[in-house]
Structure 1
Amino acid sequence: MEHSDPAPLQLNQHASVESFALSVGLKLEGAEAENGLLLGMIEVCRTKPDPVPFMAEIIGAKGIEAVAFYRDLNLILTRGPANAWPLLVEKLLELNYEIPGVIGPAEASEGFARAWAAAKGCQLKLSMDQGLYQLNEVFPPVGIAGEARLASQADLDLLAEWSHGFYQDALPWELPGKEEIHASTLARIQGRSLYLWEAKGEPVAMTALARPTARGISVNSVYTPPAHRKRGFATALVAAVSAEGLARGKKFCVLYTDLQNPTSNAIYQKVGYRLVCNTRNYTFRY
């Protein structure tokens, strides 16, 4: 449950990623799995600095109480006191930001979303109610035909098509254009982060490693085309790719699941994932 801090709060905005990282790094790494999305975005900004993101910390009697980051799709939040969100809304309005959505721990995300919708007179929609899971040890499923392999450039067209299918199924409101999907799929292949499960020589499922942090790495873009579903291929692939993440020297892997899908939540728990927190993504309709 979010704590309530009656002490006055101060918002400190950062102009550079390095300044921001130096200031909030210890705060974020104190709950590294929970804050992995924000930590990962800091690393992305170090290699792709434009456009310059909105980066801020909210400081109170206990030091840094909350952290906020926004560049394109969603405002990303950490946990924070309820009185942090009106202060953040005020600052974003002052800077004329139009925020399409917000993601973070459930109470933080909801607190900001309600304050923003009230200030802007817009509608808010709960787009995703997710569980953030962490894995420290893999328990691979048995009896699943096939094996995992790294994707190659020969797989590009197929995996671009599957990536489009993933967005249509899981994130339709964020669906990129075909050229953007093609380019991002190629980059993942070249970065040796995209994996396939292959059964009898045929690719049947896809997933990826993404957003490494100091001790962890994310498993995402889990997708099985409709013709190959309900055979355990994605589960086996997630287990294998999670093991690869640990083999790369990471202490844990993280994965987001749809809390409205009890089957997928149960399956990932069987291979070693444990619930860290509930996160919510709200989108705004202006």
Structure 2
Amino acid sequence: MRPDDWYSTDDLDTFLTRAGSFLRSRPALHTVPLTVTEGLRTRGLHYYGTEAPHFGVLESEGAVRAAYIRTPPHSLNVTPLTPEEADSLAAHLAGLGRPVPGVTGERSSADALARAWERHTGGTSSPAERQRLYRLGTLTAPSPVPEGRARVAGEADRDQLVRWQREFAEAVGGGAMMNAEKWADARISYGGITFWEDADGTPLAMAGATPPVAGQIRVAPVYTPPHLRGRGYAGAVTAEVSRAALASGAAEVLLFTDLANPTSNALYQRIGYRPVADFAVYDFMG
């Protein structure tokens, strides 16, 4: 496997022409590049940041083997890689001369790329987060269901969504997350956030879902303000968003968790989510 086997481009259409079928062939493991490229396609190339994104495709013997995307300032996101593919990708990226602040990918792939990056660049890598990807099996509503009801957020909720997105980003350490106003406007446009609210209409928690692409929908984000946690609101609103995703015809309903949070991992399993794969996030320095 050679670095030259990787093809890089800044053109989204070219990337999707080359890699679109490959990404759709494994919609669960490729959920992030699928949903990100769909957002770029429908919302514009600066939807996730102020700089243009770039992409790469590994082609060997006439077939696509792997792909990556980067929407600066966010880290690289890679599809599953063999150790040999990870080594060739690290050499390819080093040769491009572009900054690579880190990587997110299936755990063994991210581990291999981090080690290869150090070899090819002399830099260092540091594990930042361990994640688990879940797929919904049989949805089980939480019991007891907390008082309140679900409601899809609308235009009148924009300020609330902006505020909670910023709080969520701070809580998960996502300083490089996308502009909260852009995010809120996009989610409102397709009904992509649901609140759990009390009898007076005061939002207590929120859960979102990505637009469907390749038959999959990913639940994200899920957020409850600290002073309202432990009352079942997150489970109730996540179950409702999951139910709506299934009702819309999604073949797979997915979500990521932080493995450092046993509470959320236990919650999602109680309502029917089952592990698919572990993912890792690395920061690169130097």
Give the TM-score normalised by structure 1: 0.88
The whole-number CA distance in structure 1 between the counterparts of 2:282 and 2:118 is: 10
Give how far 1:27 is off. 2.4
Off by >4 Å, runs of 4+ in structure 1: none
**Cα distance change on mapping 1:49 and 1:169 into 2, 3 Å:** closer
Q: Secondary structure at the match of 1:98?
A: coil
| Residue 120, structure 1, aligned to residue 121, structure 2 | yes
User: 1:141 touches 1:235 (CA, 8 Å); kept in 2?
Assistant: yes
The whole-number CA distance in structure 2 between the counterparts of 1:253 and 1:185 is: 22
2:27 maps to what in 1? 32
What amino acid is aligned across from residue 240 of structure 2 in structure 1?
A: A
Give how far 1:39 is off. 1.0
Alignment match of 2:157 (pick from 148, 155, 172): 155
The whole-number CA distance in structure 2 between the counterparts of 1:22 and 1:136 is: 32
Farther-moved stretch of structure 1 (216-225 vs 244-253): 244-253
Farther-moved stretch of structure 1 (96-105 vs 49-58): 49-58
**Cα distance change on mapping 1:186 and 1:12 into 2, 3 Å:** closer
Give how far 1:137 is off. 3.7
Structure 1 unmatched runs, 5+: 1-6
What amino acid is aligned across from residue 32 of structure 2 in structure 1?
A: L
2:148 maps to what in 1? 146
What do residues 224-243 of structure 1 show as CA deviations (whole Å, max 9, x unaligned)? 00111011100110010011
The whole-number CA distance in structure 1 between the counterparts of 2:92 and 2:52 is: 16
The whole-number CA distance in structure 2 between the counterparts of 1:255 and 1:203 is: 22
Give how far 1:185 is off. 1.7
2:168 maps to what in 1? 166
Question: What is the aligned residue count?
Answer: 277
Give how far 1:194 is off. 1.3
Structure 2 unmatched runs, 5+: none
1:5-24 to structure 2, matched below 5 A, reads: 10-14=5-9, 16-24=11-19
2:70 maps to what in 1? 70
The whole-number CA distance in structure 1 between the counterparts of 2:36 and 2:185 is: 20
The whole-number CA distance in structure 1 between the counterparts of 2:277 and 2:199 is: 38
2:98 maps to what in 1? 97
**Cα distance change on mapping 1:175 and 1:249 into 2, 3 Å:** closer
| Residue 203, structure 1, aligned to residue 199, structure 2 | no
RMSD in angstroms over aligned alpha carbons?
A: 2.1
What do residues 111-165 of structure 1 show as CA deviations (whole Å, max 9, x unaligned)? 1122223433333222220000111442111322211101122222222221111
User: 2:2 touches 2:88 (CA, 8 Å); kept in 1?
Assistant: no
1:247 maps to what in 2? 247
User: 2:192 touches 2:211 (CA, 8 Å); kept in 1?
Assistant: no
**Cα distance change on mapping 1:190 and 1:66 into 2, 3 Å:** closer
Give the TM-score normalised by structure 2: 0.88
